[in-house]
Structure 1
Amino acid sequence: MGCGTSKVLPEPPKDVHLDLVKKVEPYTGYKTDIYKHFIKGDGDGIKSAIPSPPCHVNPHTEQPEPRKNRVAKYRAKFDPRVTAKYDIKALIGRGSFSRVVRVEHKATKQPYAIKLIETKYREGREVCESELCVLRRVRHTNIIQLIEVFETQERVYMVMELATGGELFDRIIAKGSFTERDATRVLQMVLDGVKYLHTLGITHRDLKPENLLYYHPGMDSKIMITDFGLASARKKGDDCLMKTTCGTPEYIAPEILVRKPYTNSVDMWALGVISYILLSGTMPFEDDNRTRLYRQILKGKYSYSGEPWPSVSNLAKDFIDHLLTVDPNDRMTALQALKHPWVVTMAASSSMKNLHRSISQNLLKRASSRCQSTKSAQSTRSSRSTKSNKSRRVRERELRELNLRYQQHYNG
């Protein structure tokens, strides 16, 4: 559900103090890079926060390469040390400087995911270092686990747990029933993971629904937090303030927008946005115009109008209100959120109101709208290319003016 804009990447953390990864295979030195034609950067890598339905393909356009051929191509271009241990099965995701591939361990037949990151590009290298610094430190049931790492001169292969249950909203749409009790179960798992991260001095900085995956397709599956490319890791006792502007537009906290030093409370703002979507299928702050979107966030004004909000409890709304608070000092911590009456009582006594119909309709409506917007953008991309640099400068100027305008509002 993003605006289709690039993330701003953080500086790689330099203070990691704990390494729990079992094994790292270092670069052994190739005279030439035999994989140099493999992965290229392909745009901003922003995914929709709400899954998009497949758009209809024009039968007269070029058809995609058969899956079998694509898999064979990826398998042939992987590092030999990786293919010696793992069978490459399928491409399951892609980003600006990365690909995620489903693999199977040859000896144990256990499925895993391998994230391949291009480190010859500065941005890819920074993302890789950030993610590795975090994943080497964490061990938690609701956080994706790093198994081992292979390195070459120009790319890194990260072997990780494979979450096969799909994205959070895919499951909600397919489920047929969704109540507040279901929402609190999801949020309890996410909050447990976030509390653990914050205890270690780690701030995710890009929490959003598509980074919350179910471990397996079963009804009892746990939720796992993924994608730590923008995470910041600090040693205990270090200055906890961060300054880098980064994140996904609709989930960015106000203090980041006004370029103030911030803390891990930015993750709690993002969880407020996620909670709002979880209970309604809509965004609390949304506008195709970036300046207007940021204005909404800085004001912290949203509404509970439209379906299914009349059927949502006041306790649930109070939970959201204590997260979507402009002043980070007034925002709930992960521990406080876990102790909020809505989370505690709903986990014990079910709310019987089924919110599924309204939520799924809103999710699918938004996804369909994004699909149409994508096709329209593709058809007009060439005509806009000559204006892109000018438009970017205008947006940057508007954002600077907006920041100055709301500095006084924010500080008040």
Structure 2
Amino acid sequence: MGQCYGKVNQSGGNEGTTTTVVVSADRDETSVQSANGAANVPSVKNTPARSSSQSPWPSPYPHEVSASPLPPGVSPSPARTSRGSTPRRFLRRPFPPPSPAKHIKASLVKRLGGKPKEGPIPEDRGTEPEPEQALDKNFGYGKNFGAKYELGKEVGRGHFGHTCSARGKKGELKDQPLAVKIISKAKMTTAISIEDVRREVKILKALSGHKHLVQFYDACEDANNVYIVMELCEGGELLDRILARGGRYTEEDAKAIVVQILSVVSFCHLQGVVHRDLKPENFLFTSGGEDADMKLIDFGLSDFIRPDERLNDIVGSAYYVAPEVLHRSYSLEADIWSVGVITYILLCGSRPFWARTESGIFRSVLRSDPYFDDLPWPSVSLEAKDFVKRLLNKDYRKRMTAVQALTHPWLRDDSRPVPLDILVYKSVKSYLHATPFKRAAQKALSKALTDDELVYLRAQFTLLEPNRDRSVSLENFKMALARNTTDAMGESRVPDILNNLGTLAYRKMYFEEFCAAAISTHQLEAVEGWEQIAFAAFEHFEQEGNRVISIEELARELNVGPSAYSFLKDWIRTSDGKLSLLGHGAEAISLSLDTKLDLSLSGQLFGLQQPAAPFPPLLLSGKYPLQWVFVTYVDCIFLDLSSVLPVTLQGLWIQAFANTAVASVMVGSPFYSTVLSFETNPALLVDGFWFNTSVEDLSPIILLWVA
């Protein structure tokens, strides 16, 4: 795939040295990771030359160098004379300033319990080169492929191997038509590519029991190849049928395709498997009939993923890759983006993001929005367009899950069973660990939901098989997960999320509270009419008709007495002690960029304990106003500089307290965004800046430094 590069510009002056990085994506030197292989991402450094006179550090060489004496009788060469010639310059670069990245990384390793590798001190072998360690290409699979199967003609070819038809010679698969994926060991040149093959076979073995998933039979190997024996699909690729139709499906035919895709994707996600390469080429039809079932194939780029884990390696196909994959921080939502791209192609016959080069495609994915004005979109139903837009939302938090997409009005079918959604478990976990104020706010939002949003929640509540009194407890969540378990669920440690639902062992949750716990405020913001839902929730608190929420109204809703008023004042810090609709669940503080802001946050605001160490200041320099917003009910801390153009941030890095887990650090603008890592010491010049992370992962909080 691609990688986003930065160009470094350095200049010195009397006031000090300013270092900025202009984020750029204008590179064509990219590569795509294909099936069963690692991405070859080039690392490019583009640092302009600089003379030593511009350096803020003194040169180690003198400005005048005496000439070496010549033997008697030898005249000096004209080239060695300085008379009338340009004085020589010494262009050796000075040493760069020390980077704090190593210190930050060391503190993180210490905090996480990392220890230095133990082992004998290597002996000095002089100039003798150390031999390269041979790669272990023994997979432990059966060696008797030729005795069990008879290969036929080739039916497909990829970068790392090819697929052939085959037939079983004996056993249960005797005379049965099969497909064999043959992966050459000679092309497994790295440990990563070998591990990709092991993981693909492990995932195919672990996933079983879904009608739209290709069936795995066996894995064999010999000295040259690895053989993966699977079900043979003779109906061709989905891409071939799209091209045969002239690039466009009717809405009804597209629905049938999308339902099958979402069905198998929701199954994989519940088992903790992210495919990472969903595209029309990886969906095969079982036969040539128009109503033939589809099968998902090619798990070469797939991986197991824990419920709260985020991946950072860039894999997939350029046209179908999600923005957060290019940001190097993604989860199951990346597959949903790919489904949105496929749906867009089915409905109009063209790609939503296109460019002549791969880097251009990446820029389009990051910056552009799909077009819905050209033909045939004016004739497409509003439900279909809303469906595609909610799948292609660049904010992954606002994107629908596969199960939610199946209950969308465009695809809704009451006769079709709705699968269990792992998002319900994540949402209930966050709800149980939230502050009382946030839980009350979510209850108010749930009471304002429309019937379309309640369809999904009712289906999920029914899958938990409530007790006779229409309540659910921890046992209901356990049994619902057990009914859908496979070996893959154990590999991805999905059941571990039940450990965070322990409080449900001592209490019951009825449907009304379940709706409050299972909703996602991020996803609600993507729904048309979100403002009306938020206003209805605000009116649930505000009962006096004066458009503000007073301390007394908040205390009455939370069922607390006057003794808690001082505690509630920490939530409402306005001068009049009231909360308006604009400040519902959030506090905005205006300040100037040329001041220091001492972060004196209330631990109760986020349900966190105050750290032992004092909060360091946030140093901002400039002349533009900004707003620092603490949003309580959407679980994030948000620094909004989108209205400040331009803003120069110098020496940007993250300072974290002990026991602090960093979910993601984002730097971006309406035109570009990327992720910073701890191993870099970037200085950025961007059009806008925003910082986002999940509050529930913070203990106690993450601080942003701009120095």
In the superposition, the TM-score normalised over structure 1's length comes to 0.64
One-letter amino acid of the structure 2 residue matched with residue 97 of structure 1: F
Cα gap change, 1:152 to 1:106, in 2 (>3 Å): closer
- Residue from 236, 249, 262 that aligns with 1:166: 236
Cα gap change, 1:158 to 1:217, in 2 (>3 Å): same
Q: Aligned pair 1:142/2:212, yes or no?
A: yes
> Offset at 1:196?
0.5
Which residue number corresponds to residue 324 of structure 1? 392
Q: Aligned pair 1:90/2:161, yes or no?
A: no
Equivalent-residue separation in structure 1 for 2:197 and 2:409 (angstroms)? 39
Which residue number corresponds to residue 358 of structure 1? none
Cα gap change, 1:405 to 1:218, in 2 (>3 Å): farther
More helix by share: 1
> Offset at 1:84?
2.1
Give % identity: 36
Contact 2:235 2:288 in 1 (8 A): yes
One-letter amino acid of the structure 2 residue matched with residue 275 of structure 1: T
Equivalent-residue separation in structure 2 for 1:409 and 1:135 (angstroms)? 42
Cα gap change, 1:409 to 1:146, in 2 (>3 Å): farther
SS in 1 for 2:206: coil
> Offset at 1:301?
0.9
SS in 2 for 1:342: coil
Contact 1:118 1:125 in 2 (8 A): no
Contact 1:251 1:273 in 2 (8 A): yes
Deviations 1:222-279 (A, max 9, x none): 11111111101135x6x421111111111111111122x2111000001110100111
Unaligned ranges ≥5, structure 2: 3-27, 40-138, 417-671, 675-683, 693-707
Equivalent-residue separation in structure 2 for 1:407 and 1:183 (angstroms)? 40
Equivalent-residue separation in structure 2 for 1:322 and 1:196 (angstroms)? 20
Which residue number corresponds to residue 312 of structure 1? 380
Which residue number corresponds to residue 106 of structure 1? 169
SS in 1 for 2:412: helix
Q: Aligned pair 1:6/2:36, yes or no?
A: no
The 5 Å alignment of 1:20-31 reads 26=140
SS in 1 for 2:284: strand
SS in 2 for 1:344: coil
Q: Aligned pair 1:125/2:213, yes or no?
A: no
Cα gap change, 1:10 to 1:330, in 2 (>3 Å): farther
> Offset at 1:95?
1.6
Equivalent-residue separation in structure 1 for 2:406 and 2:202 (angstroms)? 27
Contact 1:142 1:189 in 2 (8 A): yes
- Residue from 152, 162, 166 that aligns with 2:222: 152
Contact 1:323 1:332 in 2 (8 A): yes
Cα gap change, 1:410 to 1:333, in 2 (>3 Å): farther
SS in 1 for 2:295: strand
One-letter amino acid of the structure 1 residue matched with residue 310 of structure 2: L
> Offset at 1:98?
1.2
> Offset at 1:6?
2.4
Deviations 1:356-380 (A, max 9, x none): xxxxxxxxxxxxxxxxxxxxxxxxx
Deviations 1:34-76 (A, max 9, x none): xxxxxxxxxxxxxxxxxxxxxxxxxxxxxxxxxxxxxxxxxxx
Contact 1:10 1:244 in 2 (8 A): no
Equivalent-residue separation in structure 1 for 2:361 and 2:370 (angstroms)? 11
Q: Aligned pair 1:268/2:336, yes or no?
A: yes
- Residue from 349, 352, 368 that aligns with 1:284: 352
SS in 1 for 2:33: coil
- Residue from 362, 374, 392 that aligns with 1:294: 362
More strand by share: 2
One-letter amino acid of the structure 2 residue matched with residue 181 of structure 1: E
Equivalent-residue separation in structure 1 for 2:193 and 2:399 (angstroms)? 33
Contact 1:27 1:153 in 2 (8 A): no
Cα gap change, 1:240 to 1:175, in 2 (>3 Å): same
Contact 1:145 1:160 in 2 (8 A): yes
One-letter amino acid of the structure 2 residue matched with residue 226 of structure 1: I
CA-atom RMSD in angstroms = 3.1
Contact 2:286 2:293 in 1 (8 A): yes
Which residue number corresponds to residue 259 of structure 2? 188
SS in 1 for 2:253: helix
Cα gap change, 1:402 to 1:92, in 2 (>3 Å): same
> Offset at 1:169?
3.0
SS in 2 for 1:217: coil
Which residue number corresponds to residue 39 of structure 1? none
Equivalent-residue separation in structure 1 for 2:299 and 2:379 (angstroms)? 35
One-letter amino acid of the structure 1 residue matched with residue 177 of structure 2: P
Deviates more, 1:210-219 or 1:266-275: 210-219
Contact 1:144 1:160 in 2 (8 A): yes
In the superposition, the TM-score normalised over structure 2's length comes to 0.38
Cα gap change, 1:343 to 1:27, in 2 (>3 Å): closer
SS in 1 for 2:159: coil
Larger relative contact order (CA 8 Å, sep ≥ 6): 1
> Offset at 1:159?
0.3
Cα gap change, 1:218 to 1:127, in 2 (>3 Å): same
